[in-house]
């Protein structure tokens, strides 16, 4: 298992305050708009705390900014919700039962290194899966986190002026049939999997808290839980 020690990560940054929003099922466009507002606010005021959004999406497909339509198995004029967004990577699928994490971080306070940041996001998932005794790993040349050849978590980011948006999608216990309508992340020869396939009794609300704790540990964050649905309101 390829991991990063907590000391090697947290020593790169002063402890940062981070607002934590643990939300429910929210339409994709609503959260996408929140992310852009949060990033813009931090461009105007770099001293604002970081933000971590943890949530589920209603069924939706998203394409990275350079993603190819050849990886879709449906027509783009169909009733399926599909959005091209500014993250990297190919097409992916979000639905209930999948835990999505959107960190809005100012990498000027960590490391201005996109490869480092991608590995950090993977490390968060690896640590969560380790709690279930799963030997999660990275595969050279491919992003995301894998268990026994199945991709359990996808990673896609956008960074502007070293402010991050988008993030991680971990399949906890989703209906995986939605992935059959695409070539997930453009990888045709490796299956998508879920945590529930290995741990049938897993509960998403528990995994959500475990992911928050893993973020705090790996990045050296002081998490400040915030009540409320709209993180741009306060």
Is 199 assigned a catalytic role? no
Among 170, 27, 18, which residue's Cα sits nearest to residue 106? 18
d(CA 132, CA 205): 15
Determine contact, residues 59/94, Cβ cutoff 8 Å: yes
User: If residue 107 lies in a helix (H) or strand (E), which one and from where to where?
Assistant: none
Structural tokens at position 225: 């839980």
- Coil, strand, or helix at residue 41? helix
Largest CA distance in the chain: 49
Catalytic residue among 18, 95, 185, 199: 185
Residues forming the active site: 185
């Amino acid at each position: 298992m390829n991991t990063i020690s907590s000391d090697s990560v947290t020593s790169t940054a002063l402890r940062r305050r981070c607002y934590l929003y643990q939300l429910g099922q929210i339409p994709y466009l609503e959260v996408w708009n929140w992310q852009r507002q949060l990033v813009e606010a931090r461009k105007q005021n770099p001293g604002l705390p970081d933000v971590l959004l943890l949530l589920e999406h209603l069924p939706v497909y998203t394409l990275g900014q350079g993603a190819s339509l050849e990886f879709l198995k449906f027509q783009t004029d169909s009733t399926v919700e599909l959005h091209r967004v500014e993250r990297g990577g190919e097409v992916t699928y979000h639905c209930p039962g999948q835990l999505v994490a959107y960190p809005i971080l100012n990498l000027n306070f960590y490391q201005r290194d996109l490869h480092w940041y991608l590995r950090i996001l993977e490390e968060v998932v690896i640590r969560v899966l380790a709690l279930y005794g799963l030997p999660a790993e990275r595969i050279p040349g491919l992003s995301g986190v894998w268990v026994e050849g199945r991709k359990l978590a996808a990673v896609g980011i956008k960074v502007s002026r070293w402010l991050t948006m988008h993030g991680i999608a971990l399949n906890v216990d989703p209906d995986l049939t939605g992935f059959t309508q695409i070539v997930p992340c453009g990888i045709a020869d490796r299956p998508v999997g879920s945590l529930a396939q290995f741990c049938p009794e897993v509960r998403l609300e528990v995994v959500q808290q475990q992911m928050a704790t893993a973020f705090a540990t790996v990045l050296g964050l002081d998490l400040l839980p915030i009540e409320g649905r709209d993180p741009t309101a306060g």
